Amino acid sequence: MTNPVPVQSWFANFVSFVETEAKAAEDKIVQVANEIGPVIVQYTEEFLSSLAQVAIGAVLDQAPLAISGAEKFGNAVANVLQTVEAQGKTMAINDVHAVVQSAYTAVKQVATPAA
């Protein structure tokens, strides 16, 4: 009759195996992140720059209209959302609201002379 492998020895081997596999996975994740990280950063910068231009344009288009500020804001949000979707991209509505609000604030700062 063979002696069974002690539980403690089996568990130690299992833990060692898991640690080795985790380290290999970590190394691969770091390698992939280093390869795609710069591409993601460049894409994000280009998208945000384009988005800022779209949002500022939407705010400026609404400014001269004789409608309430809420209607102007809503129209600017809809315009930005439609433009982004036409580019084959998606955005959460809360993010579009934040971008339009930021564009409005930037336009207002430029249009209002410093006291």
For the residues 72-101, what does the mean pLDDT come to? 94
113 contacts: CB under 8 Å, gap ≥ 6: none
Per the listing, tokens 């084959």 go with 88
Amino acid at 42: Q
Confidence of residue 2 (pLDDT cuts 50, 70, 90): low
| Distance in angstroms (rounded) separating the CA atoms of residues 94 and 53 | 18
| Distance in angstroms (rounded) separating the CA atoms of residues 85 and 88 | 5
Q: Is the per-residue pLDDT at 1 higher than 60? A: no
Q: How do residues 4-30 score in pLDDT, each as one tens digit?
A: 656 678 888 888 999 999 988 998 898
Q: Smallest Cα–Cα separation from 57: which of 42, 79, 24?
A: 79
Task: Write out the two tokens for 79.
Answer: 């315009």
Q: How far is CA 85 from CA 24, 45, 102, in A?
A: 40, 18, 20
Task: Write out the two tokens for 64.
Answer: 């001269």
